[in-house]
Amino acid sequence: MTLARTERASDALPRSVRAPAVPGGRPPVWLVAVSVVCASAAAIPLVYLLVRTFDAGFAELVDTLLRARVLQLAVNSVLLAAAVTGTCLVLGTASAWVLTRVRIPAPRAMLLISALPLAVPSYLAAYGWLVWLPALDGFLASWLIMTAVCTPYVTLPVAAALRGASGDLEAVARTLDRGPWGAFRAATWPRVRPAAAAGALLVALYTLSDFGLVSMLRYQTLTWGINSAYGASFDRNQAALLALMLVVLALTVVAGEKRFRGQTGPGASRGRIPLISPGRWLGPTLALVLSAPLISVVVPVGGLTSRLLDAETLREIDGVRLAEAIGATLGLAVAGALAAVVLALPIAVLAARYRGRLVAAIEAVGFLGHALPGIVVGLALVFFALAVVPALYQTVVVLIFGYAVLFMPKAIGTMRSGIAAVPGNLVDVSRMLGLSPLQSWWRVTARLALPGIGVSALLVAISVMKELPATLLLRPTGTATLATELWSRTTVFEFGAAAPYAATLVLLAAVPAVVLSGFRGVAKEEL
């Protein structure tokens, strides 16, 4: 009732006033305080790693860094991340160009197919390939499969940027005897480069943080070294130092992305560019776009299906254990999503409604989990729980908190956009009708921003279902999710026994994706 009255009252305002709120003013002290507390929670893993490093001392730090084995792990991590990022940047940009500039059959369906690898965790793709080729391992295998899994991170944002980029400059370049690619490089690439850089950043961070795929394919990187140092000898100092090294690499990648992104000028008028007819190159063009889905989805799903249809696999399915893994996965996904939303909501409100250095700093700390690999968060929280709250060690509380730290950036970004889109005049009118700031937030802003909050919760839930390294380190004894069951069986080459868990994980992760489309419809209707 209050929301309806507020909307009717706002209709009396001039059209120029009825617009989303423009951030500004001084934020309430209580909101800043709550946001600082939530952001501080996200900083605990990094702060504790720094404390462990200082405790170890400079001599041990240098000794660890100069070990040949550690240097090799670092080189392997950098080499794989660089190779995958470079390949994804080229392949993703080329695929986006084809999807937006070339006349191909069913372009919308092709765009959807090109996004399918995002639904498949890297370790699940590796499992599918190992079903067909059990001897597959090493750098080349890791590079091939990881590239296929990560290519959509570049394809989708670049395709969106190409659709919004001006076509006039590219058309002029074509009239100056430049070919399609030459015109693209000269006129369009500078304007879509930020989108490509953002996608490349996600690829690099995903590759650096990956643990499941490189472990299954026996390619030893820093994540493998961290797990070995923690699991084999429980060497806290070495594990912490390796984790800090991985964080430094991730932060270096973030800084490099900002330099590569560059600055773009204002766009020109959006002229339409005639689509290019591929002619005899239609086959190779489609092969380019479909290569990533084929490698990361079709082949793994084919291997998974072949194992599921095997009579011996069907006989050996442990229904009780599978049901327990499903229950644990769903329960942790719901709890992790709620925890991430609760921690992210004050920061999202602050960033959506206010500006300033303090607000920017709080938001940046909240996004810190974006650069912290799952294995680093897991390891840091293990050390933190043992040192500060030993009663919570190996409890579900620490595991859920780890999920919240890891996936808080997903929640902040989505909720911030939804809150910022709520018309500011509705909030002002609700205050004029006698509501307190908290009542105004609950009855007006929260209701209109609910679709965005729901989307953020679903995104986090999907991520929690697929998360592997943090779950392995933080889960309570006896707790097994679909991801951990899949990993534990593939590491001992029990591919048939792993098939039911892999198939169930794919099906469960697909459910929130379907629900997301419904939330988008609600969001469009209400906002």
DSSP string, 331-385: HHHHHHHHHHHHHHHHHHHHHHH--SHHHHHHHHHHGGGGGS-HHHHHHHHHHHH
Residue 256 lies in a domain: yes
State whether 326 and 244 are in the same domain.
no
State whether 323 and 218 are in the same domain.
no
Strand partners, 423: 20
DSSP state of 121: -
State whether 139 and 239 are in the same domain.
yes
State whether 372 and 233 are in the same domain.
no
State whether 75 and 112 are in the same domain.
yes
Looking at 291, 307, 333, the residue that finishes a domain is 291
pTM of the model: 0.78
pLDDT of amino acid 10: 43
Strand partners, 102: 276
State whether 34 and 86 are in the same domain.
no
State whether 40 and 98 are in the same domain.
no
pLDDT of amino acid 91: 94
User: What CATH number does residue 125 fall under?
Assistant: 1.10.3720.10
State whether 10 and 70 are in the same domain.
no
pLDDT of amino acid 522: 38
The three-class DSSP label of residue 184 is helix
User: Which of 121, 123, 139 is closest to 131 using CA atoms?
Assistant: 123
Cα separation of 219 and 138, whole Å?
A: 5
State whether 449 and 385 are in the same domain.
yes
pLDDT of amino acid 236: 66
Give residue 308's Cα distance to chain centre: 29
State whether 204 and 339 are in the same domain.
no
Residue 170 lies in a domain: yes
State whether 403 and 259 are in the same domain.
no
Residue 227 lies in a domain: yes
Quick one: the chain helix, strand, coil %, rounded to 5? 80, 0, 20
Contacts by residues 319-322 (CB-CB < 8 Å, ≥ 24 positions apart)? 321/480, 321/485, 322/500, 322/501, 322/504
State whether 354 and 240 are in the same domain.
no
- Which alpha helices (DSSP H) does 176-267 contain, by range? 180-183, 189-209, 212-216, 222-232, 236-261
Domain extent at residue 395? 1-14+26-45+318-527
Residue 75 lies in a domain: yes
| Residue 447: partners with Cβ closer than 8 Å, 6 or more residues away | 3, 526
Q: What CA dihedral angle connects 348, 349, 355 and 361, to 10 degrees?
A: -40
pLDDT of amino acid 235: 58
Q: Tens digit of pLDDT per residue, the chain (527 long)?
A: 445 544 444 444 344 334 444 455 678 788 889 899 998 988 888 888 888 777 777 777 777 777 888 889 999 999 999 999 999 999 999 998 888 878 888 888 888 888 888 878 898 899 889 989 988 999 999 999 999 999 988 988 888 777 766 555 565 555 556 666 666 666 677 777 788 888 888 899 889 989 889 988 999 999 888 888 776 655 567 777 888 888 888 888 877 766 665 554 444 445 556 677 777 778 888 888 899 999 998 999 888 888 877 766 666 777 888 899 999 999 999 999 999 999 998 898 888 878 888 888 888 888 877 778 888 888 889 888 888 889 888 899 999 999 999 998 888 877 877 777 666 666 556 656 666 566 666 666 667 677 778 878 888 888 899 898 899 889 998 889 999 998 888 877 777 788 888 888 888 877 765 565 444 443 433 33
pLDDT of amino acid 213: 92
pLDDT of amino acid 413: 76
Number of domains in the chain: 2
Residue 302 lies in a domain: no
Residue 278 lies in a domain: no
